[in-house]
Structure 1
Amino acid sequence: MSVIDPQALTTSLQRLAGRGTADELLPTLRAVVDACVDLFGVSGAGIMLADEQNMTRYVAASDGPGRILEIVESETGQGPCTQAFVTNQIVPSSDVTTDSRWPRLATLIRPHGVRAVLGVPIALGGAPVGTLDVYLTEPHEWTSGEHAALSRYGDVVEAALAASLSAHRAGELAEQLQYALDYRVVIERGIGYLMARDHLDEVSAFNQLRRAARNSQRKVGDVAEHLLATGDLPGGQGNR
């Protein structure tokens, strides 16, 4: 990863933030990931946003391997981007193909040339609604300076999303984000309940909740409310 020029970063942030209008949300997000690659010297970048099942989904990527990374993370519920979304913290991996935290991701992404990955949470009103992710084709130990710079870059995504929700003109994407925001507290409470009841870590509890939502064909917020009211997941999914 190239050395970050503070002035170039500031200029790029200002230029991209100025494009953050509801009328051109997806083009803005695509511009963000393309500019991210140029500015930081990474191999690729992408953005994932939460849907109504509170699952992060591919929205924009700079290239094919970046898109595959996002799809595999969404399908497996594993990886630095998934963990960044659940914990609302930056999550690095020096090499996802050998990272023991996410064995399924490691196996599936290995043929596609993605090695070092950094997941940066994207939040609205303090609640995570997605991630900005970057990757390199070689192993790399991410520095605190890279964490800080990419976190600032995530502010551009937040500004674009906030403008879209404020204007109510981003269609289905805005509706999904609004649902994620409206139900974030109850979903977090449901995750906490499963962590305490089943002795799970945060990501495992999150995946159990969304798996129950998928199996019962209900929205994850409704499933979390059911869990908190009854102590059980719908249909006996994951119950003790």
Structure 2
Amino acid sequence: MAGRRRDGPRGSPPGHRHDHGSPGGRPPPGTGPPESPRLRLVRRCVELTGIDAAGVMLANARGSLRPAVATKARITLTELLQAQVRQGTCVEAYLTGAPVHADALADHAQRWPAFVEVARGAGYENAHAFPLRARQQSVGALNLLSGRPVTLGEAEIKLLRALADVATTAVLSWVREPLATDGIATRTQAALSGKALVDTASGMLAATAGLTPQEAVRYLHAYAAHRGRRPTEIAEQLVRRRVQPDAVLADAAQKR
């Protein structure tokens, strides 16, 4: 309604407008540090090839794949489905330790019926996956999807293999101490747990200020970068109520 004043979120003084510098009380667009290394990596996969979307799935402590990062929400849905029904390019690459290519998903309906149905329903007609391996052990897979049939050339396959290796290094460098062979699963589980914390904390920020999930993640990263901390550390403090959402949002407003 025109002229109506908006009160801030719960706990704000009456009549306080919870304005972070943009319409609707949102923090200013573009605030925040560069994207996380894993997100930058999957974006590079899209930029350097004819693929439309990319994501990384990691194995948890039980050996089940879980989405870790993706360029689009739709690819996360297909990854979740692959994990649930244990079929699809990503699952097969993880289990076999070899790249898997499906230039036309429609031709693989009998091979992966549930995966093909969901992937095509989300608008994808092509899928590729590359395993993430460390010391002869599979830790996950790089997942690639496109809205049209795409055959990867030899140069693109070599490039994506290299990017998969970079992704593996990024995951296993989550902790700075030297990596023991029996610590690989611990590192991948830590990466997945960190993502769960960030998802929960960014949801708290989104609910507080009416942000999109992507905006909330940017402001969480901005707050962490300003303090020289990992985003997962700040996310844990938010979840444990040691840091309040308003403090993170106000910090973003001050950086304008």
Query: Structure 2 length normalisation: TM-score?
Result: 0.54
Matched AA of 2:189: L
| Distance (whole Å) between structure 2 residues aligned to residue 175 and residue 38 of structure 1 | 24
Aligned residue type for 2:152: W
| In the alignment, structure 1 residue 129 sits paired with structure 2 residue 139 | yes
Residue 68 of structure 1 and its aligned partner are, at CA, apart by 1.5
What is the 5 A alignment of 1:154-173?
154-167=164-177, 173=189
In structure 2, stretches of 5+ residues that fail to align are 1-34, 179-185, 194-256
Pair 1:125–1:145, CA change in 2 (3 A): same
Quote how far apart the aligned CAs of 1:118 are. 0.8
Pairing 1:36–2:52 present? no
Deviation at 1:172, TM superposition (A): 7.8
Give the aligned partner of residue 174 of structure 1. 190
Alpha carbons of 1:89 and 1:124: their partners in 2 closer, same or farther (altered >3 Å)?
A: same
| Residue aligning to 1:79 | 88
CA shift at 1:174, angstroms?
Answer: 2.7
What is the distance in 2 between the residues matched to 1:58 and 1:135?
14
Deviation at 1:69, TM superposition (A): 1.7
1:72-97 alpha-carbon deviations (Å, 9 max, x no partner): 11111001110000000000001224
2:95 and 2:40 mapped to 1: Cα distance?
25
Seen in structure 2, the aligned counterparts of structure 1 residues 175 and 163 have a Cα distance that, compared at 3 Å, is: closer
Letter in 2 for 1:61: A
From 115, 124, 142, the equivalent of 2:152 is 142
- In the alignment, the residues of structure 2 paired with residue 78 and residue 172 of structure 1 have an alpha-carbon distance, to the nearest angstrom, of 21
Cα pair distance change 1:151/1:172, threshold 3 Å: closer
Contact map agreement 1:98 1:106 (CA 8 A) in 2: no
Asked if the contact 2:171/2:188 (under 8 Å) is kept, the reply is: no
User: Does 2:77 correspond to 1:68?
Assistant: yes
In structure 2, distance between residues paired with 1:172 and 1:45 = 19
Q: Distance in 2 between matches of 1:113 and 1:71?
A: 16
Query: 33-42 vs 49-58, which deviates more?
Result: 33-42
2:115 to 105, 124, 127: 105
Out of 94, 106, 118, the residue aligned to residue 128 of structure 2 is 118
- Deviation of 1:35 after TM superposition, in Å, equals 2.0
| Conservation of the 8 A alpha-carbon contact between 1:65 and 1:114 | no
Cα distance per residue 1:125-165 (max 9 Å; x no partner): 12110001111100122333322210011111121122124
Q: How many angstroms apart in 2 are the aligned matches of 1:89 and 1:165?
A: 27
Name structure 1 gaps, 5 residues minimum. 1-25, 178-240
Is the Cα–Cα contact under 8 Å of residues 42 and 70 in structure 2 kept in the other structure?
Answer: yes
Q: CA deviation at 1:173?
A: 3.0
Aligned twin of 1:151: 161
TM-score, normalised to structure 1's length? 0.57
Q: Secondary structure of 1:60's match? A: strand
Larger radius of gyration: 2
Match of 1:47, SS state, is strand
Q: Counterparts of 1:167 and 1:140 in 2: how far apart (Å)?
A: 41
Q: Secondary structure at the match of 2:36?
A: helix
Indicate the percent of aligned positions where both proteins have the same amino acid: 23
2:57 & 2:46 partners in 1: Cα distance? 16
Cα contact 2:58–2:141 (8 A) shared by 1: yes
Per-residue CA deviation, residues 48-73 of structure 1 (Å, 9 max, x unaligned), is 00012211110100012211221111
Q: Which amino acid aligns with 1:110?
A: R
Stretches of 4+ aligned residues off by more than 6 angstroms? none
